[in-house]
Amino acid sequence: MDVKISPSILSSDYANLQSELSRIKNADLIHIDVMDGHFVPNITIGMPVIKALKGVCDIPFDVHLMISDPYDYADAFAKAGADIICFHIECKSNIEATIDRILFLGKKAALAIKPDTPVDSVIPYLNKLSMVLIMTVEPGFGGQSFMQKVLPKIRKIRELNESIDIEVDGGVDFETVKMAAEAGANVFVAGSAVFKSECPEEAIETLRNNALEQISDSTQIRLV
């Protein structure tokens, strides 16, 4: 199982996005939080900024849509440069139709669930998805604390599917990354833990190593 670190640019300096990207060259994905002021109270960035960043960055874009109507915007985000289009199961769009549209556009589809949404809701869609995003905070803002109560949801998806990417987002730091990895997650979003550190590249490596250590420990436990 590949471990991937996806730094969230929500915690970066929006006045200097290009140079912020140059501080995370060892990232596996770039996590971009899109908020519409309806699905969540906050408003962030949209297609024009993603398009501009695509021109200066070769790392795949992991676009997290916290918007009410992702179906209506799938084409626009695909065109802007999203590689993974992740939307919420709690949105207003038809879920199946939105996944199908993303796949038709040649992009990877991912579904996100909020902390209080039952994990069973995503199970019918697993075979079409590249990734499931289990939110470990309420979506909307960076810098919140990791909710451990969400860990059983990660375990359940991992039991059902050994190969799907399971991403965690919210409050992931050098310690909580281990709990998420132990539960079965392999893609880790980190905003504050990466961008508020002195050396973001070192923070990415520490997150990666802590996750990898935990995953190899859990595998050994299973083998014994």
Q: How many whole angstroms separate alpha carbon 183 and alpha carbon 178?
A: 9
Chain centroid to Cα 206, Å, comes to 18
Distance in Å, CB of 69 to ligand DX5, minimum = 18
* From 13-21, 29-37, 43-51, 52-60, span contacting Zn ion (CB under 5 A): 29-37
Residue 64: strand pairing partners:
33, 86
Closest C-alpha to 131, from 81, 60, 77: 60
Answer yes or no whether residue 169 interacts with ligand DX5 by CB under 6 A.
yes
- Subset of 38-67 contacting ligand DX5 (CB under 6 A): 64
Say which DSSP state 36 is in. Answer: B
Strand partners, 119: none
Fill in the per-residue mask, 201 to 220: x = in contact with ligand DX5 (CB under 6 A), - = not in contact. --------------------
Q: Which is nearer to ligand DX5, 12 or 98 (CB)?
A: 12
Q: Is 33 a catalytic residue?
A: yes
Q: Which residue sits closest to ligand DX5, CB atoms considered?
A: 191
Query: CB-based burial of residue 19 (10 Å sphere; 0-12 exposed, 13-18 middle, 19+ buried)?
Result: exposed
Residue 71 or 146 with smaller CB distance to ligand DX5: 146
C-beta closer to ligand DX5: residue 30 or 99:
30
**Is 144 near ligand DX5 (CB under 6 A)?**
yes
- Name the residue with tokens 């990417």: 165
Please give the full DSSP string across 155-182, using - where no structure is assigned: HHHHHH-SSSEEEEESS--TTHHHHHHH
Check 28, 33, 62, 165 and give the catalytic one: 33
Q: How far is it, in rounded angstroms, from Cα 34 to Cα 56?
A: 19
Q: How far is the CB of 129 from ligand DX5 (least distance, A)?
A: 18
Select 109 or 169, whichever has its Cβ closest to ligand DX5: 169
Q: Could you give the residue numbers annotated as active site?
A: 33, 169
